[in-house]
Amino acid sequence: MKKRIVCLTLALLMSATQVVSVSASREDELREEQAITSQQLDATYSRMDELAYAKSQLENEISELDSNLVSVMVSIDTLKGDIDNKEVDIIRTKQDLAKAQKARDKQYENMKLRIQALYEQGGDTAWFQMMLNSDDLSELLTRAENTQQMYEQDRKNLDKYVNTINEVNNLKTQYESDKAELEEMKASYEEQSYNLQCQIDEKKAASADYENEIAYAQQQATEYANLLAEQTAEIQRLEAERIAAEEEARRQAEEEAARQAAEEAAAEEAAANAQKDEESDSEDVEYDEDGNAVDNTDDSESEDDEESDENGDDDTSSDDVEYDEYGNVIDSDNTVSADDYENEQSSSSDSSSYSGSGSSVVDYATQFVGNPYVWGGTSLTNGADCSGFVQSVYANFGISLPRTSYEQQYAGTEVSYADAQPGDLICYGGHVAIYMGNGRIVHASNSVDGIKISDNAAYRTIVSVRRLV
């Protein structure tokens, strides 16, 4: 019988596993997609850092070019002032040259008049006539001296005129040369200014391109982050569905196993009772002296009825008796009354020899975190399911608990979740755990996680909280 129950349970679990495997396969695909998305997000952030660094370098170069451009513009303004000053000097020089030329022309006219007068007076004989007409030697010398002074003055004026003309011409030439040089320098600075401005414009355009790339990369990063969040949420949903499916499959397997066990037990008892009746019937047969069977049916039935009446017992069909998966007699509807179980548990607890506290239970239970989950198992080291784990932990403290999670829902005394203390049982539909305090539980979770600690005791709907200690 046990083999049939085990085979049936395994078949149910395998059927449920096939359903769950589809969800698990989708989980694996999503985790792979999540890993790729995470890599893409990291690459995008790295690209954004590179773009930001390149943009920063460009901005530094633009700042330096702006500084150079300002320096060149200042130089251009200075040169414009120097050129303006040179132009003023050239104008002044031209004015001086005009004055000198005017003085030259006047002096030339005076010299022409003196030469003309001298010629009109006889040319070379004028000097001789002037000396003859002199009254005395003193007058002659005076006239000669005056004439000489006149010639010397004319010579001086001529030399001064020549020097002035030369000086003015030299200044004009120098100023024009300086102006040309300044104009050339100005043109050079203006070319530098143009080139610097072109470089600044190019780098600003490149900086704008970097800015656009950074904005696009930021958009991509946001999309990858949103996709990553969606994938994470989907994985969590699928994981929750898978765990719920596993728990439901285990619960159904437990119920089906209990039902089958009860049916098998009832069938075996019926067969045993039938055999016993046959044996009883064969013993009640009497024989005559010739070896023929004597019919005492009426008497035996009457006797049986009388015995039944005397004992006050009604006949009970073996078909009305059902057993759970562990061979315990249960009600015909395959349930255990909460009141009956609490009375039973109360008497069991009174007779148990417990010493310790809820914290001691928790400390003991947490030693086995990481050990495997085995459906139907009760070994804290080699593997246990949720109810087997709870049963084995409390057995260490002398407290006897029933085997199934459904029966354990009626153990001890019920308290509210708000008043839960370490060591209390947290009962769910088809699952049970030991409360650790601060919203945490230790339990045999599933075949994937094994015995573990969960941070949220209310991750599933809580059916009951039972206090045993």
Domains of the chain by residue range: 20-246, 336-469
Rounded CA separation 469/363 (Å):
14
* Most confidently modeled range among 134-143, 241-250, 279-288, 383-392: 383-392
CATH architecture assigned to 20-246: Orthogonal Bundle (1.10)
Predicted pLDDT at 436: 97
Selected catalytic residue, list 7, 198, 427, 431:
431
What's the rounded mean pLDDT across residues 219-228?
A: 91
Active site residue: 7, 198, 427, 443, which one? 443
Instruction: Look up the CATH number of domain 336-469.
Output: 3.90.1720.10
Positive or negative torsion for Cα 414, 415, 417, 423 = negative
55 pLDDT exceeds 60? yes
Q: Is 427 a catalytic residue?
A: no
pLDDT (0 to 100) of residue 123: 53
In this prediction, residue 119 carries a pLDDT of 58
Give residue 245's pLDDT band: very low, low, confident or very high (50, 70, 90).
confident
User: Is 431 annotated in the active site?
Assistant: yes
Known active-site residue 386: yes
Terminal Cα distance for the chain, rounded: 37
Q: How far apart are CA 456 and CA 416, in angstroms?
A: 16
The highest-confidence range among 135-144, 151-160, 399-408, by mean pLDDT, is 399-408
pLDDT at 334 over 90: no
Q: What confidence score (pLDDT) does residue 299 get?
A: 43
pLDDT recorded at residue 28: 87
430 burial (CB, 10 Å; 0-12 / 13-18 / 19+) is buried
Q: How far is CA 75 from CA 50, 61, 288, 371, 394, in A?
A: 38, 21, 152, 84, 95
- Nearest Cα neighbor of 296 from 274, 310, 304, 273 is 304
Highest mean pLDDT among 147-156, 175-184, 191-200, 250-259: 191-200
Give the span between the Cα atoms of 469 and 372, in whole angstroms: 27
pLDDT at 353: 38
Predicted confidence band at 350 (pLDDT cuts at 50, 70, 90)? very low
Question: How many helical (H) and strand (E) elements, i.e. helices and strands, does the chain have?
Answer: 8, 12
What is the crossing angle of helices 125-132 and 137-284, to 10°? 130
- pTM for the model stands at 0.37
Distance CA 245, CA 249 (A): 6
User: Counting beta carbons within 10 angstroms of the beta carbon of residue 204, is it exposed (0 to 12), middle (13 to 18) or buried (19 or more)?
Assistant: middle
